[in-house]
Amino acid sequence: MTVSPTPCAVSTTSGPGDFFGFPRRRAAHTILNDGTKTLECLVIGQRLDQDVADYPNQHKRLYRNNGEWNLVDMADIRVLREPTQK
């Protein structure tokens, strides 16, 4: 298995029993099983009632709101209000 914490980062090869932690609010990470055996991966994280996730390679944004998931094209998102600066 090869793990890259960011699309441009150097890859890391892993073996049985290895652990990888991915900090939140950072660049996307990639996990690629380039071996011949099945990869078993335990993923632990939060599932908030409301959350947003970006998938820049697919140009998509996922909105989760109280159990409903909406995947939209980023090009179709329009800004209703610009952020205010303090």
> Looking at the 3D structure of the chain, how many domains does it have?
2
pTM of whole model > 0.75?
Answer: no
| Pick from 50, 43, 44, 46: nearest CA to 67 | 50
Terminal-residue alpha carbon distance, the chain:
46
The model's pLDDT over 4-19, given as tens digits with 9 standing for 90+, comes to 555 555 567 778 888 8
The Cα 58–Cα 72 span in angstroms is 10
Same domain, 52 and 35: no
pLDDT digits (tens, 9 = 90+) for 34-73: 888 888 888 787 778 899 988 888 999 999 999 899 999 9
| Domain residue limits at 73 | 46-86
Judge if 8 and 28 occupy the same domain.
Answer: yes
